[in-house]
Amino acid sequence: MSATRFVQRLAGVGALALALAGLMATNAAAVPAFAVQTGEPCQACHVGGFGPQLTPFGREFKLQGYTLRTGKFNVPLSAMVVASYLHTAQPQNPPPDPGFHPNDNVALDQLSFFFAGGFGSHFGAFVQGTYDGVAAAWHWDNLDLRAVDQVKVGKTDVTLGLSLNNAPTVQDAWNTLPAWGYPYTNSELAPAPSTSPLLNGALAQTSMGLTGYAWINDEVYVEGGAYWSPAARTLSDLGVDPTDPGSINGAAPYGRLAFQHDLGKGTLELGVFGLETEIFPGLDHTTGFTDRYTDLGLDGSYVDTLDNTDVLTFNTRYLHESQSLRATCALAGVNSGCAANTVDDFRIDGSYYWRDKIGLTVAVFDTTGSANPTLYAGNRTLRPDSDGVTVQLDATPWGDGKGPFGKRFNTRVGIQYTAYGQFNGASRNWDGMGSNAGDNDGLRLFIWSAY
């Protein structure tokens, strides 16, 4: 195939993006549409029979632009709902959100509609709009529009693709990077540490990116591209806050390299990734400075389906962030000892799914950073350090597609417990007012359904 022909096909993603933009404000529908399109049950693509943790087959489906189809054209619409009950070790003061109690809250966490499907051999889309039941507001959610083609370089098969998306790492096919990393569901009402690397979701839905990738011989993944900030009014119309964290100065380069290979009866992945960003915090341009973030990370995963259909998985990542917060420090009126900072974030989780239906997951998280009296004035130790463990037990009885309402319907129920060793810099009295890390421990019961 000629390079000109390939470029012409990839250029069509722009037209697809414009066509789908109009759907963002309407009720589209969700991921079970992929099950109908492929003719496979949810277990084929997802560990435990429910998203978003992908099997090697599910990764391939995503990297091929969501285009695999075994049947006739289906309506590419689905819906999803998540609801939960949350109890924390100590009541939250003030309450976690207006309209909720200091403790023992029941909430509709989210209601999402999806436009998700492949269109011919070269184009695919994953478009999500979400109602946030805690904030009682609609917003655009994950967006991933793809254009792909298959070429040969000598005797090597290569998939070439473009992704137009609205969150760094949302386009990634491994459950190690932030967009699709564990925990796969949580509550906005739960206490959370105040510090995390920028790449851990701060730019989700407040940025747009275009990346190109090559998937070489089903083993080597190479990706590069850049992210920018849409107009503030556009983001507001789409239901997100354009001031948090602010606007990207120009374009922020993003890169990703991963290697996947069979190891024993399982599949191993090792990778690196990075993003460099300059941001005008809060959209402020008055200081003449920007905040610069350099995020560099390592990741790895392993998934193994045993002979008895039990599934074992491991996912891990380490992310180091260097910060030069000249704009933030200038806005705070601090001229020295403020701008240069580091944040390190480590995550690892392991799951075991009995018969690919009942799963136990244990995850450990650890965030550390340099002390800063300006950024962490509310922390007694002036440090951001937080760590803990999350344990989850869940069941997905119909991930094999044999549920009471057909292949489209799927449900997961689970119990999740998070325990903190440190919270915002300390184990005890972290805020100088007697609050301990363990006060934020949370027990969550959830139900997660899709159709």
Question: What residue type is assigned to position 276 of the chain?
Answer: E
Tokens read off for 361? 């997951």
pLDDT of 156 reads 96
Within 97-242, where are the H helices? 232-237
CATH of the domain at 257: 2.40.160
Q: What secondary structure does DSSP assign to 408-443, as a single string?
A: T-EEEEEEEEEEEEEBTTBSSSTTSSS--GGGG-EE
Within a 13 Å sphere around the CA of 173, how many CA atoms are in the beta-carbon half? 30
Domain span at 263: 3-450
| Residues contacting residue 237 through CB under 8 Å, at least 6 positions apart | none
Give the separation between CA 313 and CA 360, rounded to whole angstroms: 11
| Residues contacting residue 271 through CB under 8 Å, at least 6 positions apart | 174, 176, 221, 256, 257, 258, 259, 298, 299, 300
Give the separation between CA 283 and CA 222, rounded to whole angstroms: 33
pLDDT of 403 reads 85
β strands within 178-251, DSSP E: 208-216, 220-228, 246-248
Tokens 């417990």 correspond to 417
CA angle 39, 24, 47 (to 5 degrees): 35
Give the separation between CA 394 and CA 268, rounded to whole angstroms: 24
Q: What are phi and psi of 48, to 5 degrees?
A: 75, 5
Closest CA to 256 of 321, 169, 153, 315: 169
Task: Decide: 129 and 115 in contact? Cβ < 8 Å.
Answer: no
314 burial level (CB within 10 Å; 0-12, 13-18, 19+): middle
| Residue-level pLDDT, tens digit, the chain, 451 residues | 443 443 344 334 333 333 333 333 333 233 899 999 999 999 999 999 998 999 999 999 999 999 999 877 888 999 999 999 999 999 999 999 999 999 999 999 999 999 999 999 999 999 999 999 999 999 999 999 999 999 999 999 999 999 999 999 999 999 999 999 999 999 999 999 999 999 999 999 999 999 999 999 999 999 999 999 999 999 999 999 999 999 999 999 999 999 999 999 999 999 999 999 999 999 999 999 999 999 999 999 999 999 999 999 999 999 999 999 999 999 999 988 899 999 999 999 999 999 999 999 999 999 999 999 999 999 999 999 999 999 999 999 999 998 888 888 999 999 999 999 999 999 999 999 999 999 999 999 999 999 9
pLDDT of 14 reads 39
Other CB atoms within 10 Å distance of the CB of residue 336: 6
Tokens read off for 359? 């799963």
Give the separation between CA 189 and CA 321, rounded to whole angstroms: 27
The sign of the CA dihedral 114, 119, 122, 123 is negative
Other CB atoms within 10 Å distance of the CB of residue 208: 20
3 state DSSP class of 142: strand
Q: For the whole model, what pTM was predicted? A: 0.91
pLDDT of 179 reads 97
**Count of domains forming the chain:** 1
Closest CA to 129 of 116, 117, 148, 146: 116
pLDDT of 133 reads 96
pLDDT of 387 reads 98
pLDDT of 42 reads 93
